[in-house]
Structure formats: structure tokens, C-alpha cells
Amino acid sequence: MIIQRVVLNSRPGKNGNPVAENFRIEEDNLPDNINEGQVQVRTLYLSVDPYMRCRMNEDTGSDYITPWQLSQVVDGGGIGIVEESKHVHFTKGDFVTSFYWPWQTKVILNGNSLEKVDPQLANGHLSYFLGAIGMPGLTSLIGIQEKGHITAGSNQTMVVSGAAGACGSLAGQIGHLMGCSRVVGICGTQEKCHLLTSELGFDAAINYKKGNVAEQLCEFCPAGVDVYFDNVGGDISDTVISQMNQNSHIILCGQISQYNKDVPYPPPLPPAVEAIQKERNITRERFLVLNYKDEFESGILQLSQWFKEGKLKIKETVVNGLENMGVAFQSMMTGGNIGKQIVCISEETSL
């Protein structure tokens, strides 16, 4: 059977900006028969995420992420439907997901690498399992639970950078749900600022490309910052940290401003900012959601419940077609998305 797949065409270089041309689409042959323990699935949705930028380098700089290989199929989070199964846990018509889903229209996978998903948890929105009711949702929820130290009723202020992205747009809402009295988002367009305050319940939003971020933070966080959900790193984070309170907490979710640079993760803070962090006893520990797998099941149920109750609003930017994976990736890395960036490969869920 002829299928289409996306392979890594070139590397942007450790200090380069990724472009759509780093990926290429090509045809491949899928075997006609599957072996015992395997399933054949049709891809429905694929995810592009900031962490993938590290996988474009020969060395990811991380012990838990492997690099993509040149001219080999690219992989990441995906959702699909089982077309044929020789695995005891899966039958034709099941919806399944994997963190290592090859970027191709159809794929034969080892059933042990797949997890079944229940469409009811997302009211039938299968793509949400790659976003709010999947890894980004768990990252936001568990990050806040484990590293945010939020106590309901104690008037804490949370700041979220990258606030209109996959994790940020959820983190601000979860901060409120867990008891923060004030949540302020930082993002890069007026449209995103408006969305945060009008739809997602943020108390204020700052466009870092317009005006003075430090002054606006002072205005919107008069009592200082107690919890900082950091998606970006760099200058924005240095500005936020300088306004954080004694014994406050940074949730180190991501550092997208640094991903096109050859620096360690998490990137070191400038000496003056590091001095503030130490002086005020601000926690800034590396957070890796994969270390909390025992909390995934309860976390997914909590996220689903909030979504169904209307307490968690979900935003996504959807691009159609496997041939647009590179375009979607480049757009996501430059802030072109609102909420989770998804690529729809096929919407056909009947067999």
C-alpha cells in the first residue's frame, strides 16, 4: 500500500531557525500484512510542539529525547484509528494515541506502544488528546501542582509567559481553578491579549512587543509575583523574576526563546537575575512531566471534568494536510498559533 510520510530533510543548525524546508514529504510502501502484536492505524491528528526543536539537532542536549535522523521519518504525538489489529488489547475502530507516532498517513505499530483513548473524555474532540486532555494539559496541571505551591485563599498572583500557547493558555486557567486570586499573561499580539482576558479568564495581559513589560507588570501585579509559569525564558523571564516575591516559585515548563541557541537546559540566568533568585529564595527547578506518570490517569480525568463543566476553555490552531507539517512547525515556533498547534491528517473516523 502506498502511503505518504514526512522525513527530516535538513537540520537548521544548533543556532538556526527551523523552516518548513527542513522537512520533506515522500511516498513509501506499507507492508500488506501485519505481524502478531501489531496494529495498522490510520493517522487522524499529529502534534507539533516546541520540544521538537531539540530533536532537529544531532544532539538533543537531553537524556530523554532522541534526535530525528536525516531522511528518516519524523515522529511525535499522534492520534489515529485502528484499521486492523493482531494485538489482544485493540480491535478495529479503536482510537489510539502515542507519544512517538510516525508522521505518515497510515502506519503499522507495535500495539504495546499505543494507548487507547475514550472520545467521551473530550466530548468527541479527538485532537484534544494531543492538547488540553493530553501531554500539554498534564504538563500544566502537574507542573502547577508539584512546583507552584498554590494555597487557595492566600491571595497569590501568578504570571504566565507564552500565555496564548498550548500550555500557557491552560496554565492560567488552572492557576485560577487551584486558587490564585490574580493571573496575568504575557504574549506577543493584541489579538492574543484580548483572547486571554475576554475568553480564558486572565485578569490582565501584556503584549511584550508593545510598551514596557516591567512597568506593566508593576501595574498589573501590585503585590508582586508569587508563581511564575515560564514557557519562554530569556529577557521576559528575567523581567518577571526581578518582580517576584520572597519564597516564590518558578514552574519551568519551557524556554522557547532559547531553543534556537546552543545553550544547556534549563539555560543559566544572568548573574544579576541569579542573585535576585538566591536572595529571595525563589525556587527554579527543572520540571519533567514524564517523571510523574503515576499522576497521568487522575490528571486526565480532572482536565476532562473541568472541560465538561465549562471551567477549562480549550483553544487550538488546526492546519490541514500532512504536506503542511513543516509549515505548522515553523508557525508554532514563531508564535503563529493560539492554543495547541494541531495538524489534521484525516477526519474520516468511519471504517
CA distance 117 to 97: 7
Q: What is the pTM of this model?
A: 0.95
- Burial environment of residue 238 by CB neighbours within 10 A (0 to 12, 13 to 18, 19 or more): middle
Residues above pLDDT 90, as percent of the chain = 89
Supply the pLDDT for residue 219: 98
- Here the cell at position 323 is 504536506
Number of residues written out for the chain: 351
Supply the pLDDT for residue 218: 98
Least confident of 55-64, 217-226, 242-251: 55-64
Supply the pLDDT for residue 107: 98
Supply the pLDDT for residue 257: 63
Supply the pLDDT for residue 120: 97
Q: What are the tens digits of pLDDT across the range 57-111?
A: 999 888 888 999 999 999 999 999 999 999 999 999 999 999 999 999 999 999 9
Closest C-alpha among 127, 312, 335, 151 to residue 231: 335
- Here the cell at position 294 is 503515576
Domains of the chain: 2-131+315-344 (3.90.180.10), 135-290 (3.40.50.720)
Supply the pLDDT for residue 148: 97
Average pLDDT score, the chain: 95
Taking the CA atoms of 108, 19, 172 and 315 in sequence, report the sign of the dihedral they define: negative
- Burial environment of residue 228 by CB neighbours within 10 A (0 to 12, 13 to 18, 19 or more): buried
